[in-house]
Amino acid sequence: MVIPYDPPRAKKPTLVQKFMGFMKTRDTLAELQQRHREFETLRKGLNQRVNVVSSGLSNCGLKVEPLKTDELLTLFYECFNPRTARIQKIKKSEDVAVEKDTDLYDEKKQEKEGE
């Protein structure tokens, strides 16, 4: 079960707002702190919804377990790409991290050999 959380303030920015967001320089410390507080408030609201649904399902005798990020990615990938998912499996984040580290190592090694 996917539990959505769409807070009332979540509006899609207009094209002009998006453009202005790209043009803006770095955030101030106060803006960062405000966004962090807002994120924590929204996260608490989502956790409350999850707890209500989880307890309701548990009372019905169902086992409830939240999925981790990799499990969610795999689930959505397989749901939205059923044909591709049979042939091409999604890579786990730790595999991708290892590949990136290996690629970076190989690039640096080639640069040293070329010198």
Instruction: Please answer whether residues 10 and 41 qualify as being in contact, where contact means their C-beta atoms are separated by less than 8 angstroms.
Output: no
Domain termination site, one of 43, 66, 89 = 66
Answer whether residue 80 is part of any domain. Answer: yes
Are 59 and 73 contained in the same domain? no
Instruction: Please answer whether residues 50 and 2 qualify as being in contact, where contact means their C-beta atoms are separated by less than 8 angstroms.
Output: no
Domain range for 97: 68-115
- pLDDT at residue 54 in the model: 94
Answer whether residue 47 is part of any domain. Answer: yes
- pLDDT at residue 61 in the model: 94
Q: What is the pTM of this model?
A: 0.56
Q: What is the pLDDT of residues 32-90, one digit of tens each?
A: 888 899 889 989 999 999 999 999 999 999 999 988 888 988 988 898 888 888 888 87
Angle 63-69-73 from CA coordinates, rounded to 5°: 95
Answer whether residue 49 is part of any domain. Answer: yes
Are 77 and 113 contained in the same domain? yes
Answer whether residue 5 is part of any domain. Answer: no
Q: What would the mean pLDDT of 87-113 be, rounded to a whole number? A: 61
Cβ within 8 Å of residue 43, ≥6 positions away: none
